[in-house]
Chains A and B, each alone.
Chain A
């Protein structure tokens, strides 16, 4: 009995909040939001409980991916200021516990999706988790500066999962949203890596500013932003969205390009204030794009072509 008590006392005293933090709640909320948008714009209706179950599975799948990412990257997280306060490097959750928690959650999310929603949505969810953990975290992150470009596919897929959960099929509309998030990822993470480049260098993560330098990173951000903004308007041009969406896509797209241009001219390489502002602008951009799409569909606002 004494041995068990000693064993229990030697374990890190993790709180419920620590396990919640392990699931990367901010990333999870964005994933749920884009997944819900995919469900809402789909040309079919699902039982409200089935829709809730699908959203829960998407959230659990994202949480599982976050927990597994933190477990496999605990060594480098401890070396970076941005991630040093995470539960595993802080010693509040044991790495093995995080792995068990993450894999259990992943299997439960995919199995529940397959049981109660449909096989396509479950397959896409399984692929998303596999891609984030197996391809991005374990294979690409420590090997190539293209890590977040390729790995971005996993973060881009939730609208397709949401659409598939409702319709049981895929079409070009959710894939267009996937493409938008896919192209949004590099400017978002490369702007972060500009003002956190010391962190990444210390941890030996080959982010673009560490491997190719800041000048090259700024050029890469510009190229992706120049492709992203027109693609962001495409849903309206292709009959998927209406005037509210166009206003959001043009307005926030303009701000995104303006912020990108400031990053190109940045002189203060120590603090990178323009990159910090671009990082915020990318979050606002994606949120407003999907919020406008959602508002139009829930509010019954007709697509752009119906207005002329």
Chain B
């Protein structure tokens, strides 16, 4: 695997990690809003 291919793979992994974190934040904010609205 050459350097460009490796860099592309790492970038893809980073993008997936960012997507996962964003999804987690959305779920957390939704759940926390529910907790605040219906304590």
- Judge whether B32 and A13 touch: CB under 8 Å: no
Bound state CA distance, A39 and B4, in angstroms? 47
Supplied contacts A15-B13, A112-B28, 13 more A-B pairs, CB within 8 Å: A9-B4, A9-B7, A13-B6, A13-B7, A13-B11, A14-B10, A15-B14, A16-B14, A16-B17, A19-B14, A19-B17, A49-B32, A50-B35
A16 and B7 contact, Cβ closer than 8 Å, known pairs A49-B31, A49-B35, A50-B32: no
| Interface residues as binary, B6-20 with A (CB distance below 8 Å gives 1, 0 otherwise) | 110011011001000
- Judge whether A56 and B10 touch: CB under 8 Å: no
| Interface residues as binary, A1-43 with B (CB distance below 8 Å gives 1, 0 otherwise) | 0000000110001111001000000000000000000000000
- Judge whether A53 and B14 touch: CB under 8 Å: no
Say which residue of B4, B14, B25, B39 sits within 8 Å of A14 (CB atoms): B14
- CB B12 to nearest CB in A, in angstroms, measures 11
A47 and B10 contact, Cβ closer than 8 Å, known pairs A16-B17, A53-B28, A116-B32: no
* Nearest B residue (CB) for A13: B7
Residues of B within 8 A of A116 (CB): 29, 32, 35-36
Interface size on B, residues (CB 8 A): 17
* Nearest B residue (CB) for A20: B17
Bound state CA distance, A56 and B24, in angstroms? 11
Bound state CA distance, A115 and B29, in angstroms? 10
15 of the cross-chain contacts (CB-CB < 8 Å) are A8-B11, A9-B4, A13-B6, A13-B10, A19-B17, A47-B35, A47-B39, A49-B31, A49-B32, A49-B35, A50-B32, A53-B28, A56-B28, A112-B28, A112-B29
- CB B4 to nearest CB in A, in angstroms, measures 6
Bound state CA distance, A15 and B39, in angstroms? 40
* Nearest B residue (CB) for A48: B35
- Judge whether B13 and A16 touch: CB under 8 Å: yes
Residues of A within 8 A of B28 (CB): 53, 56, 112
Bound state CA distance, A293 and B25, in angstroms? 32
Bound state CA distance, A13 and B29, in angstroms? 31
Bound state CA distance, A259 and B13, in angstroms? 45
Residues of A within 8 A of B13 (CB): 15-16
- CB A47 to nearest CB in B, in angstroms, measures 6
- CB A186 to nearest CB in B, in angstroms, measures 36
- Judge whether A53 and B32 touch: CB under 8 Å: yes
* Nearest B residue (CB) for A53: B32
Bound state CA distance, A16 and B11, in angstroms? 9
Bound state CA distance, A50 and B32, in angstroms? 7
Bound state CA distance, A16 and B18, in angstroms? 9
- CB B16 to nearest CB in A, in angstroms, measures 8
- CB A104 to nearest CB in B, in angstroms, measures 11
